[in-house]
Structure formats: C-alpha cells, structure tokens
Structure 1
C-alpha cells in the first residue's frame, strides 16, 4: 500500500530535527523531508545532495542519495521509505549498530582539527556570540533551523 505523502515546503519551515529517529536512524526523517522538498522544488536554502551532514547517513547505509530521492518521488510514507532503506542498504545494519551510530551522531562534536573547530565557532557566532551550550553538530543544525525561521538565539 502506497501512502501519498504531501510535499514539504522548506521555504516556509525547517525539516524535522536531526535528532528525530525513524527505525532507530537519527537524521532519516530530516533526509526524507529534504528529499520530498527537493522533489517538489521547495528546498529553499537546504541541500539534498549526499554531501554535508547527509553523507554520514548515506555512508553508513551504503545508499545513494539519488536512489533515495527517486524512491521518495513515488510518494510513500515514512514507514514505506524505512522499509525501502532496509531493503536497499548495501550495508545491512543490526538494530544495535543503528542505535550505536545514532548515539554517536547525536553527540558528534567538531573536534577533528583546528580548522573545523574554527568553522563551527564561526557558524555558531552567526546566531549568537553568547551561547555556550551549542557543542554538537545537531545543536548547531537545530539552532540554525530555529533562527532561520524567526526564532531568537
């Protein structure tokens, strides 16, 4: 049974938080929102290209972003798309692997090198010079989404 999912207009609101899970995968609901918006030509400032933060999901599952985009274009709901992800992932993942990866992604910080740390700090400073609680990539994404659509830092 295919459930037609209405398009999402990311010029009017942000995609779902990267913290939300579908089938245990963090970031997947956000990817689906961005893929649906891309299909409807309503992506706004967001990107759905298999790079940036998106690449972590695609690397973990072994999926191609264009293949996911083509499946999303068929109009299925989140549950159907989750089943498709499991059926087409090149790297079949156990529930504990998905849980571990999701936990890691939720707490992932920009601690790889000085350039990355400086870039992260500059992005946070675009929204607030006083926030000391923004320490993970998901914190920054949520802050960006909130401020971009009228919220205060």
Structure 2
C-alpha cells in the first residue's frame, strides 16, 4: 500500500515539475496498461465462452455407480479445442427451489475432471455425494455443477 502511494505521489511530482517529459511517458504507460487490460478481458471472455460450451449432467444413479460414489457425471466437450483441466463444486437443489442444500465446507470433496478431453469427446465418471444438510435424501434432489474453472489448450 505504501509503495503504491509513493509511486503515485512521485508520478504527480514529476508530472508537475517536468510536464513536457512526463506527459508522453504517462500517455504511453496508459496505452500499454489499456492494451494489457483489454487482452486480459478478452482471454477471460474466451474462457467463459468455452466453459459455456461444456455439457455437464449430474444425476443420482446408485444402480450404475458404487455405493460410495453414487453420482453419475456425463461430460461432453462441445469446443473445437481440447479441455486440459476442469474443476467444479456440486450443488444440490430440491426440485423448483433455489436454496443450495449441499453443505459445502472445507472438508467437502473436491471435484476434478479428466486430465485431457479432446474436442467433441464424452467422459463419464462416478462421484461422491457432497455433504447434505440434515433431513434431505439424495434421491429427491437435483445436482448441478457450479463454479466451473477450466483451461483449454490453444
């Protein structure tokens, strides 16, 4: 914090004392900072569009999965580039409700996708249940993947 204040004060002193030299340098720095900010926003939007093209379905399927991992995940990469990493958290909702019934604490399971999923490919896996609030049964709930974070190869 102190260093930032010191830099701003120094820049203002230089701008007032030597305006002929400080203004072009300040404008060049502002243009450079604007270019970097534009590039970061573009990359962030591109990643958000790629994550939106992923099709992720989670269902409670104790018949198809082991007892300790009763959630069936089906993932389809609808992008033109391979998926290299994917992380998410699972939320549980009663049908027609908007209150998350998963008790996501620090000890809750961490969910990760396949290491490499080619463009257009499918992947299935069985996942453990997140801890649920008391009084709710998993067979009556809808499960959704939220807070997706992923990386794609360029």
The bucket for the TM-score relative to the shorter chain is under 0.3
Provide the TM-score with structure 2 as the length reference: 0.26
Greater fraction of residues in strand: 2
Greater fraction of residues in helix: 1
**Which of the pair has more CA radius of gyration?**
2
Provide the TM-score with structure 1 as the length reference: 0.26
